[in-house]
Homo-oligomer: A and B are copies of this chain.
Amino acid sequence: MARKKQYKEDEVIDKAMHLFWRNGYENTSMQMLEKEMGINKFSIYSSFGSKHGVFLESLKCYKKNIKSIFDTFKNGTEGVADIKKFFYDSVAITFQGKNQKGCLVTNTYNEFSESDDQLIKEQMGSFMDNLKELIIEKLKMDPSKDEDTILKQANFLLLAKHGLAAASRVNSQKEIEDYIEMTFQNI
């Protein structure tokens, strides 16, 4: 064996994630990553292979970070109220620090919407499908809703969530919360 690494990979990836979160993929350079991660290019490449590799790991890291929100959502038993809480929890992380903008997954979804990057698209697709499934599950807890209504409302909420993530990059916390309240007035 030989020398030990002087950094922990999950620690430097967490820093990289915040950088991507704030600036997006294309507007984050290796130079910025070096500075933020605190290690030089050689180390980055030996650990993650490429800038793209760093980004994919950052996405995984992000998902791990929001897992608790999803778990709370999944385990909820109050239907629509769970969805609403999930919306509040989702935007809350945007306002807890200043090094993040909106939702990294949604930002990525938008930035790569024109790209044909298969790995990224898979990550995005599974995330969205999973979310839609959960929303449908919660809506079904209300027996008064028929299948058709549930699908329509699920699409509505999914799009509202997407818009919310986009808007949370430029709108204030109060505007965001007012929006959530009005969104759930007719669900």
The interface of chain A, by Cβ under 8 A from chain B, is 22-23, 26-27, 101, 109-110, 113-114, 152-153, 155-156, 159-160, 162-164, 166-167, 169-171, 175-176, 178-179, 182, 185-186
Tell me the complex Cα distance, A155–B167, Å.
12
Apart from A26-B26, A110-B166, 8 more pairs, CB < 8 Å: A22-B114, A26-B27, A113-B169, A155-B175, A159-B179, A162-B171, A163-B164, A166-B166
The answer to whether A167 and B171 touch across the interface, beta carbons within 8 angstroms, is no
Tell me the complex Cα distance, A169–B159, Å.
11
Tell me the complex Cα distance, A153–B170, Å.
18
CB distance from A80 to the nearest CB of B (A): 14
Grouping DSSP codes into helix (H, G, I), strand (E, B) and loop, the A interface class, with mixed when no group exceeds half, is: helix
Give the chain B neighbours of A159 by CB distance below 8 A: 163-164, 167, 171, 175-176, 179
Tell me the complex Cα distance, A162–B113, Å.
17
The answer to whether B156 and A167 touch across the interface, beta carbons within 8 angstroms, is no
The answer to whether A109 and B170 touch across the interface, beta carbons within 8 angstroms, is yes
